[in-house]
């Protein structure tokens, strides 16, 4: 096997792995959205406050710690948390 064909084989495996991870991310996000919708409905039905700033602060701290532990790029981390804090409701 030549170096080029070996590299192509390895590249193909990396891409398969990325494709699997993309699928996991999409389905995980979809499940997360379902859960947040259920929380929103429950809060509305029981006249609970729509947001919980204390919990949100704890969650952001927890997620930032996880991102650091996972060695996620700091710039990318900031972008994710900036997106997470955008509210469309």
- Write out the chain's pLDDT in tens, 89 residues: 799 999 999 999 999 999 999 999 999 999 999 999 999 999 999 999 999 999 988 988 898 899 999 999 988 887 877 776 665 44
Q: Are residues 56 and 40 in the same domain?
A: no
Q: Are residues 23 and 41 in the same domain?
A: yes
Domain that holds residue 10: 1-48
pTM: 0.73
* Number of domains present in the structure of the chain: 2
Q: In the block, which residue shows the tokens 């429950």?
A: 42
At residue 60, the pLDDT reads: 85
At residue 40, the pLDDT reads: 95
Length of the chain: 89
Q: Are residues 30 and 6 in the same domain?
A: yes
Q: Are residues 59 and 87 in the same domain?
A: yes
Q: Extract long-range pairs of 86-89: CB within 8 Å, 24+ residues apart.
A: 89/40, 89/50
Q: Are residues 5 and 26 in the same domain?
A: yes
At residue 82, the pLDDT reads: 74
Task: Please tell me the distance from the alpha carbon of residue 83 to that of residue 6, in angstroms, as a whole number.
Answer: 39
Q: Are residues 62 and 44 in the same domain?
A: no
Contact 28, 46 (CB under 8 A): no
At residue 76, the pLDDT reads: 86
Q: Are residues 37 and 55 in the same domain?
A: no
Contact 56, 64 (CB under 8 A): no
Q: Are residues 76 and 58 in the same domain?
A: yes
């Amino acid at each position: 096997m030549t170096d080029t064909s070996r590299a192509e084989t390895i590249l193909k495996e990396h891409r398969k792995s990325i494709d699997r991870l993309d699928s996991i991310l999409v389905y995980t996000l979809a499940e997360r959205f379902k859960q947040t919708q259920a929380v929103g409905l429950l809060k509305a039905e029981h006249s609970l406050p729509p947001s919980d700033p204390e919990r949100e602060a704890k969650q952001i701290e927890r997620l930032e710690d996880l991102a650091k532990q996972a060695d996620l790029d700091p710039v990318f981390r900031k972008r994710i948390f900036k997106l997470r804090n955008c509210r469309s409701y």
